[in-house]
Amino acid sequence: MSDSLLDVHIKHSLQTVHGVMPMEIALSLAKGQILAITGPSGAGKTTLLRQIAGLLTPETGKIVFEKDVWLDSSKQTSLAPQLRNIGFVFQDYALFPHLTVEENLLFGLPKGCDRNIVDDLLTATELSNLAHRKPSQLSGGQQQRVALARALVRKPHLMLLDEPFAALDYDMRYHLQDMLLRFHRQHQFTMIIVTHDIGEIFRLADQVAIIENGKVILQGTPTEVYAKDPSQTGDFVIFGEVLSCVRQADQLLVSALVENKVRQLTLPLNLASEMIPGNTFTLRYPMDSARVMLIRH
């Protein structure tokens, strides 16, 4: 047993438009971390979330959360989804159309729990004035806030989110990402989010795993992963504040605050005069030392 909060080791035959694709996933996640899962469509990302949640059973494997065995195919053990204390936010929101906003949240509230959390979440998500409306009367951003609140009402230990902000415009995406980070800091749950948005990965994730053809091909911090394989993304820009900078051999080891996350960056020596603690910076990626470009403020 590892020291991780969540350990997943599964094998599964996934039906795709191109035929059967063998899935073989092994990943671990520490308590309180946010893991972003990305990769091409059809790689198995949503299937993996559904397997962790217990909505789909892999052919073989084991899933352990803390000391609880959620799945062990060798012992024909599979814990029911409602017993896994998971919050799941689907890409299409999956709200009950015949229930009001408040009723959707109450539906997710475990029996015997204080219903005051429903009122607290309605306030925190700015939905109090919409509590008696039905999903069809809400905008996409409002529906997504309801979906997030309904997942949080369970006070889950693990949150699973499947491209939750993909259909929203930039301003709404940023607002909901900020709200999610706020809830994460407040409640300290562990989270896995499927996303194709590089900015979202850098803003939210402690770790990122790239899945291709049913396998994890890279996993690490966002800066580690995209520095190792710049082909995984086009050019993009990050903004940060230098916390510390140490020269090591022919490179700089920089600790920086990037979108509320402390990141470790490896940068070329010619940026030493800029990487002074307290300085703010803008870096254009990918992080090939020949291509790193600092845009001076």
The pTM of the full predicted model, rounded to 2 decimals, is 0.80
Q: What's the pLDDT score for residue 297? A: 39
What letter does residue 110 receive in the DSSP assignment? P
127-133, long-range: CB < 8 A, 24+ apart: 127/101, 130/101, 131/100, 131/101, 131/102, 132/100, 132/101, 132/102, 133/100, 133/101
Q: Which pLDDT score is estimated for 103? A: 93
DSSP SS3 for 82: helix
**Whether the Cβ atoms of residue 211 and residue 25 lie closer than 8 Å to each other:** yes
Instruction: Residue 290: count other Cβ atoms within 10 Å of its Cβ.
Output: 5
Q: What is the pLDDT of residue 12?
A: 95
Q: What is the pLDDT of residue 252?
A: 86
Alpha-carbon dihedral sign for residues 218, 68, 82, 129:
negative
Q: What span, in angstroms and rounded, lies between the C-alpha atoms of 215 and 229?
A: 16
Which domains are present in the chain? Answer: 6-231 (3.40.50.300), 234-294 (2.40.50)
For residue 292, the model assigns a pLDDT of 44
- Residues of the chain short of pLDDT 50, as ranges, are 1, 288-297
**pLDDT at residue 235, rounded to an integer:** 58
CA 45 – CA 210 distance, rounded (Å): 9
Query: Over the stretch 190-249, which tens digit does the pLDDT of each residue have?
Result: 999 999 888 788 888 999 999 999 999 989 888 778 766 656 555 566 778 899 999 988
Specify the pLDDT at position 231. Answer: 61
Q: In this predicted structure, what is the pLDDT of residue 26?
A: 94
Report the candidate in 138, 149, 151, 141 with the shortest Cα–Cα distance to residue 174. 141
| pLDDT the model gives residue 258 | 78
Q: What is the pLDDT at residue 192?
A: 97
- pLDDT number for residue 293: 44
pLDDT (0 to 100) of residue 1: 43
Calculate the dihedral angle through the C-alpha atoms of 243, 180, 239, 269, rounding to the nearest 10 degrees.
Answer: 50
